[in-house]
Amino acid sequence: MSANKSILVCRCAERGLVDTDGIAGGESVLVIPDLCRAVADGDPMLGGAFSEVHACHPRAVQSLFRFAGHPLPDTTQVIDCRCDGAGHAALGTMEDKPPAWYPVIDYDRCSSCGQCLEFCLFGVYEKAPDGRIRVVNPDQCKNNCPACARICPEAAIIFPKSVEVPINGAEIDDEAAVRANIRVNVDEILGDDVYAALRARKQKRKALLNRKKIERALEERRKCSGGDQ
C-alpha cells in the first residue's frame, strides 16, 4: 500500500461501543461499520498498511488483526475510542448476519493450557499442531456468553464486544487484582465433601440476598423521605 497516511476507523455499528462519530471518511480515511464483523468475514481490506486504527482497546484491536491474519506492525498507532455506549446508538446486527460476538486470544498472555478448549461446548477453539490454542469456529460462539474468558487462568481471552473489564481487552493495570478475580481451582474449593461445600455456599447466597434486601429497603426509605420534604 502506497498511501503515506492511511487511517482505519470503526463505527462499532452493532453495539456503539466506540466514539468515532467526529471522524469523517476521506481519501486517506477508511470508515468501516464494524471491525469485529470485518474480521469475522475475513475482509481483505484489513491487510492494508494502516498508520492509525481508531477503534477499541488496543489489546482487542491487535488481537483482532492478528486473528484476521494481518498482525499490526509496531508502527501502527491504535487509538482507543472505547466509550461503552456513551457515543452514538447501536444500529443492531448487520443485514441477516449473526452478531459478530466471538473471542480473540491475546497471545502475549495465553499459556496454551487448553482450559477454554475443554470448557467450550461448541467447538469454538482448537489446539493447533504447534500446541497453540486457536479460535477456529467464531460463528459457533454464543452471543453475549463470555464464560470461557472468565475461567481463563491467564486472562488471555478477549471478547471485544463485552463490557466487562478486562474481558473487553482493556489494558490490565493491576495484574494482581485481575489474577485474584480469576476463578480459582474448583477442585480445591469443593474439597472432599461436595455437599458441605455447596451448603456453605447456600448460606453465603442467603446472606448476600439479605444484605441486598436491606440496601433496597434503605434506598426506598431515602427516596420516600426525600419526597416528603
Partner 1 sequence: MKMEKTGVHGIPSTLQERDSLRLRVETYADQQGLVPPLSMEELRDHALELAPSSVSVDYVMVLLNNAVWRETVASIPYERRLLLLPQCLRDFKNCPAEMDEFGLLCEECGRCNIGELQSLAEDLGYVVLVAEGSTVVTRLLDGGKVDAVIGVSCLNALEKSFPHMADGAIPGLAIPLNAGGCIDTTTDVEHVRNAIRLRSDASWVNQVDTARIREMVEGWFSAIEIDSMDTRTEQIAYEWVCGEGKRWRPYLLACTYDALSGADGIFPEKVRRLALAVECFHKASLIHDDIEDDDEVRYNAPTLHCQYGIPVALNAGDFLVGEGYRLIASVPSRTADLMRIAVENHRMLCVGQGEELRGLVDTPPFTAAQLIEIFRRKTAPAFGAALRLGALAAGGDDRLDAALRRFSESLGIAYQIHDDLEEYRSGEEHDLRASILLALANDQRPLEWYAPDSPNLDHVFREMMVEEKAAQLLEHYKNEAIRALNPLASAPLKSLLRRTTSKMLTPAGGRA
Determine the length of the chain: 229
Given the complex with partner 1, which of 49 and 151 has the nearer CB atom? 151
Identity of residue 218 = L
CA angle 176, 182, 185 (to 5 degrees): 115
Restricted to residues 14-53, the positions that interact with partner 1 (CB under 8 A) are none
Question: Which of 145, 165, 172, 178 is close enough to bind partner 1 by CB under 8 A?
Answer: 145
Residue 78, φ and ψ in degrees, nearest 5: -100, 115
The residue range among 20-28, 49-57, 80-88, 143-151 that interacts with partner 1, by the rule CB under 8 A, is 143-151
Alpha helices by DSSP H, 106-152: 115-119, 147-151
Given the complex with partner 1, which of 59 and 161 has the nearer CB atom? 161
Does 179 contact partner 1 by CB under 8 A?
A: no
Does 177 contact partner 1 by CB under 8 A?
A: no
Does 187 contact partner 1 by CB under 8 A?
A: yes
- Judged by CB under 8 A, the number of residues near partner 1 is 36
CB of 97 to partner 1, least distance (A): 13
List the grid coordinates of 168: 473487553
Q: What are the counts of helices (DSSP H) followed by strands (DSSP E) for the chain?
A: 7, 8
Does 5 contact partner 1 by CB under 8 A?
A: no
Question: Which of 147, 163, 214, 218 is close enough to bind partner 1 by CB under 8 A?
Answer: 147
Does 119 contact partner 1 by CB under 8 A?
A: yes
Cα 166 from Cα 116, distance rounded (Å): 16
Given the complex with partner 1, which of 206 and 221 has the nearer CB atom? 206
Nearest C-alpha neighbor of 104 from the set 138, 70, 72: 138
Cα 25 from Cα 27, distance rounded (Å): 7
Nearest C-alpha neighbor of 139 from the set 39, 48, 211: 39
List all residues 6 or more positions away from 165 whose beta carbon is below 8 Å from its beta carbon. none
Given the complex with partner 1, which of 73 and 122 has the nearer CB atom? 122
Residues that bind partner 1 (CB under 8 A): 92-93, 99, 115, 118-119, 121-122, 142-145, 147-148, 150-151, 183-187, 189-190, 192-195, 198-199, 201-202, 204-205, 208-209, 212
